[in-house]
Every structure is written in C-alpha cells, then in structure tokens.
Amino acid sequence: MNEFLFIIGALITLGGGILAVIARNLFHAALGLAAALAGIACLFVPIGGELIAVVQVLVYLGAVAVSIVFILMLSPPFYLKRAHRNALKLSGAVGVTLIVAVPLFAAVLSVKSHGGSSDFVPTIDQLGRALLTEFVFPFEIISVLLTVAIIGAIVIARDLPEDDHIMSAAEVAEKEVKA
C-alpha cells in the first residue's frame, strides 16, 4: 500500500512539476503546480505525515494554488501572450540547472539509505504539544508574519485614485494659506 502511494505520488509530482515549468500557457503551468502539490501530499502519507498531507492540501492546494489561478483570471490575459523561446536564455537555464544538479545528486547519492523500518506516526496531540512548547517562538513569529503579509498585500495592491488622495496636515495648511 505504501509503495503504491509512493509510486502514484511520485508520478503525479514529477508530471506536474515538469508541466509547471515547461508549459507555455501560464494557466497550464498553474494547473501543473496544483497537480505537483497534490502528488506531494500523497508522498507524505507513507512517511508518517498524514496531518501534514492534510495541511498541504488545505493550505497549498486550497489557498496558494487557487490564488495563483485567481491572479491569472483577474488580471489582463497576459498568460495568453506566449513568450517566444529564446535559445540563448534556454541554454543558459539548462546550463545553470546542470551545474546545480551535479553537487545535489552527489550529495543525495552519498546519503546512506535506511529502509523504512519505523512505523512511527506522530499524532495531532504530539504535533500540537511540540508546536506550543518547544517551537512556540517560531510559531508566534509565523503568526506575526502572516498578519504583516496580509496588511502589506492590501497596502501594495490597493488602487488609490488620484482624487482620493489623503492630504497630510502640511498639505491642508498650505491649501488654507492659498485660500
């Protein structure tokens, strides 16, 4: 059962990941990303990450992937303008990828493999306790970060028309002097 889940998850993840970077239409790339995220959730199940798999589907697939699709739908259809492939840029990207690939594969293949011998699956209770005792500081930082990100996103993305410009005290005083 675990092997079946791994193989299915690996195939979906690799297919989705390759589609996400190869597709010329960005909408297809977003769908490839969604497939890859679902495949990764599938991969987490055989290694004792049932809860993380659920969180992955809820947050990544339900929020991040959907918000990427949303921006493609809400914005002018720039994803339909297919960028022509630039041979120089393409070969540069392949070169950089290969340069990164060599040390990564060397490192991965030098790791001693341990066959999945443990059946330990952490319960929600254990994860919650760890989150609120040992990791409470990073947990709070993430909470603050998310709040700041929401406020920052609203501030950056809001579109103030010119006549809605909120005058500062100095500008108000200057206007009164002119009047």
Partner 1 sequence: MTSLTSYLVLSVILFLCGVFGLMERRNLVGILISIELMLNAASINFMAFNHFLFPGTVTGQIMTLFVIGLAAAEATLFLAIVFAVYRHYRSVNVERVDHLRG
Q: Which of residues 24-53 bind partner 1 (CB under 8 A)?
A: 26, 29-30, 32-33, 36-37, 40, 43-44, 46-49, 51-52
Contact between 15 and partner 1 per CB under 8 A: no
Report CA-CA distances (Å) from 159 to 33, 62, 118, 163, 164.
29, 26, 54, 12, 10
Contact between 68 and partner 1 per CB under 8 A: yes
Residue 29 CB-half CA count within 13 A: 12
Please state, as a whole number, how many other Cβ atoms lie within 10 Å of the Cβ of residue 28. 14
Contact between 80 and partner 1 per CB under 8 A: no
Distance from C-alpha of 108 to C-alpha of 110, rounded to nearest angstrom: 5
Contact between 101 and partner 1 per CB under 8 A: yes
Q: Which is nearer to partner 1, 130 or 172 (CB)?
A: 130
Distance from C-alpha of 114 to C-alpha of 47, rounded to nearest angstrom: 12
User: Alpha-carbon torsion 54, 58, 61, 64, what sign?
Assistant: negative
Minimum CB–partner distance for residue 176 and partner 1 (Å)? 33
Of 73, 80, 150, 167, the one binding partner 1 (CB under 8 A) is 150
Of 88, 159, 161, 177, the one binding partner 1 (CB under 8 A) is 159
User: Alpha-carbon torsion 20, 41, 60, 135, what sign?
Assistant: negative
Q: Which DSSP state fits 123? A: -
Contact between 88 and partner 1 per CB under 8 A: no
Please state, as a whole number, how many other Cβ atoms lie within 10 Å of the Cβ of residue 19. 18
Binding positions for partner 1, 105-124, rule CB under 8 A: 105, 108-109, 111-118, 120, 122
Minimum CB–partner distance for residue 69 and partner 1 (Å)? 10
Q: Which is nearer to partner 1, 115 or 177 (CB)?
A: 115
Binding positions for partner 1, 160-179, rule CB under 8 A: none
Of 8, 18, 80, 172, the one binding partner 1 (CB under 8 A) is 18
